[in-house]
Structure 1
């Protein structure tokens, strides 16, 4: 399903409930932050191995899927309200990150681009 179709579905959902007035950028960012917190809570205190295996347990998988969906819904709505073309923004950011993290320098490295030496800002 295309991003623009999902955004339309989310916008329609909000419009049908007359929620547009509540969907200010500030409120949407706060809601998005809250949902990310709820997603984080599902992984809190797990070891790396436990977090990798979390999705193997159907009882734990569903809450993770629902929180990921909530995060995505609020992100879609925020981008719509701010008139951000998510596809174009992601493509531009990936191009920028490709410059910041050249394969030869970044391969296998979990460091910020500023620590790679000769990468660009």
Structure 2
């Protein structure tokens, strides 16, 4: 990969381009099938999980962790992100747009007044299927979505 990102922030588009360049320079496109990338992503999620294994609950900010542990965590989180960005690119999915759409779907599935402070899944909440927000003009009602609606992914934020 020619050059390192000098600025502090980075967009998903920039990561996508950097990953494509990285793979192209190494002639790895031939190996980057959706299946192979997904399996690599799952492997990296496993490595990320190992970092937390046996630690029990940990407080936000990881105040008791050593700098080396936090750096390792950052590397594994990055591996997961990079494979996810590459997989979305290879599959032709605009990850940023898909994520924003999913947030909107989750806002409908989890209306604030029904789920605030609750960890219940949307299928276990008492929701009027035709009226999520308590008003007849809700986005769910106008788009025909119900609490039983599933997007292409049922992952919730």
For the superposition of Structure 1 and Structure 2, which TM-score range results when normalised by the shorter chain?
over 0.9
Post-superposition CA distance 1:2-34 (Å, at most 9, x none)? 211110000100000000010000000000000
Cα RMSD after superposing both structures: 1.6
Indicate which of 14, 17, 22 corresponds to 2:31. Answer: 22
Indicate which of 126, 131, 137 corresponds to 1:117. Answer: 126
Q: Which contiguous aligned blocks of 4+ residues in structure 1 show a shift greater than 6 angstroms?
A: none
Post-superposition CA distance 1:26-73 (Å, at most 9, x none)? 000000000000000000011213686367410211110000000000
Tell me the equivalent position of 1:32: 41
Tell me the equivalent position of 1:63: 72
Greater fraction of residues in helix: 1
Structure showing greater Rg: 2
Q: 1:71 to 1:54 in 2, by over 3 A?
A: farther
**Aligned with 1:48: secondary structure?**
coil
TM-score (norm 2): 0.73
Tell me the equivalent position of 2:115: 106
- For structure 2, list consecutive stretches of 5 or more residues without a partner in the other structure: 1-9, 133-146, 149-157
Post-superposition CA distance 1:58-100 (Å, at most 9, x none)? 0211110000000000000000000100111011101100010
Q: 1-side partners of 2:63 and 2:69: how far apart?
A: 6
Q: 1:36 to 1:51 in 2, by over 3 A?
A: farther
- For structure 1, list consecutive stretches of 5 or more residues without a partner in the other structure: none
**Aligned with 2:93: secondary structure?**
coil
Higher relative contact order (CA 8 A, sep 6+): 1
Q: 1-side partners of 2:64 and 2:37: how far apart?
A: 28
What is the count of residue pairs matched by the alignment?
121
